[in-house]
């Protein structure tokens, strides 16, 4: 193990925007777009190393976002999301060595874009009921699974929450509690898989201030835009993430 940080300029040309996107997504602003960070880093390092570097940044940004949004979680929805999400995380740990991350990314991208297309072609009625516990749990398990392998759990959770037409604060805070729980639960399995080392941790520490700027910028922006524009940005972030993940799957 080396105590030094990654020094290649190409890595930071990708990692700095990636860390900023993570911070923005953890504030609830353009939620889902943080899923782009690991695929971006994977252009410069291996996917497992990119995931290991991103984990401490995700966890720190989760805490910052959670503190800013602490009054808004929907605990009723979280009781459906969290057990299934942790189950999906366990399945991701089990399948980590057997599954190609590109395949997982492509699957997440395809499902996400299919969901967005269906919502565009057949918008739900204003009086339509929210997703039931079974559908919510399945999406949460899918999120935990893809989050463990490629930190790509944002789109499935957006699919679970967007049809509920929640207030922006409740949407962002519920997402924050879910991903804080999921990301902190990754530390033990990532360590047992040998993904956590001092060089990756030192590199993560160097990128933390960028993620903090992203969280503060996102919280500031969220309080200054309308509900309609907030959710337009969530939809846009989810669509961009889905396209990038599908592209990574096809390329891999």
Question: In this structure, what token pair is assigned to residue 206?
Answer: 């160097």
User: Is 15:41 a contact under the CB 8 Å cutoff?
Assistant: yes
Mean pLDDT across 51-68: 87
Interhelix angle 133-150/168-184, rounded to 10 degrees, is: 50
The confidence score (pLDDT) of residue 126 equals: 61
The pLDDT of residue 30 is above 70: no
Instruction: Compute CA 220 distance to the chain's CA centroid, rounded to the nearest angstrom.
Output: 20
**Most confident segment among 48-57, 70-79, 222-231, 242-251:** 70-79
pLDDT in tens, 9-26: 888 998 898 898 888 877
Contacts of 112 (CB under 8 A, 6+ apart): 155, 156, 158, 159, 238, 239, 241, 242, 245, 246
Q: Which of 57-61, 122-126, 145-149, 223-227 has the lowest mean pLDDT?
A: 122-126
The pLDDT of residue 1 is above 50: no
> How confident is residue 232, by pLDDT bands cut at 50, 70 and 90?
confident
Alpha carbon dihedral 228, 232, 235, 237, in 10-degree steps, equals -130
CA distance 81 to 236: 23
CA distance 75 to 207: 32
The confidence score (pLDDT) of residue 61 equals: 87
Residue with tokens 């990654």: 6
Mean pLDDT across 175-179: 91
**Single pTM value for the model:** 0.79
The confidence score (pLDDT) of residue 17 equals: 87
Distance between start and end Cα atoms, the chain = 29
The DSSP line for 26-83 is: HTTTTTTGGGGHHHHHTTTS-HHHHHHHHHHHHHHHHHHHHHHTTT---HHHHHHHHH
The confidence score (pLDDT) of residue 111 equals: 74
pLDDT in tens, 65-111: 888 778 889 999 999 999 999 999 999 898 877 777 677 777 777 87
CA distance 149 to 14: 20
Mean pLDDT of the chain: 82
């Amino acid at each position: 193990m080396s105590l030094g940080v990654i020094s290649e300029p190409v890595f930071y040309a990708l990692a700095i925007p990636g860390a900023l996107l993570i911070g923005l997504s953890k504030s609830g602003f353009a939620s889902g777009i943080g899923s782009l960070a690991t695929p971006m880093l994977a252009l410069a390092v291996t996917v497992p190393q990119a995931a290991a570097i991103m984990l401490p940044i995700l966890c720190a940004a989760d805490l910052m976002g959670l503190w800013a949004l602490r009054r808004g979680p929907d605990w009723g929805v979280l009781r459906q999301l969290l057990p299934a999400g942790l189950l999906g995380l366990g399945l991701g740990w089990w399948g980590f060595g057997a599954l190609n991350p590109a395949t997982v990314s492509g699957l997440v991208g395809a499902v996400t874009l299919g969901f967005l297309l269906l919502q565009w072609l057949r918008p739900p009625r204003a009086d339509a009921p929210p997703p039931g516990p079974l559908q919510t749990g399945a999406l949460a398990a899918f999120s935990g699974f893809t989050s463990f392998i490629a930190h790509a759990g944002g789109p499935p959770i957006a699919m679970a929450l967007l049809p509920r037409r929640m207030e922006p604060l409740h949407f962002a805070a519920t997402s924050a509690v879910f991903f804080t729980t999921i990301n902190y639960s990754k530390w033990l399995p990532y360590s047992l898989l040998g993904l956590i080392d001092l060089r990756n941790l030192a590199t993560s520490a160097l990128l933390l201030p960028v993620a903090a700027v992203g969280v503060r910028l996102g919280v500031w922006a969220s309080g200054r835009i309308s509900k309609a524009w907030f959710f337009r940005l969530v939809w846009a972030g989810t669509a961009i993430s889905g396209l990038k993940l599908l592209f990574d799957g096809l390329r891999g």
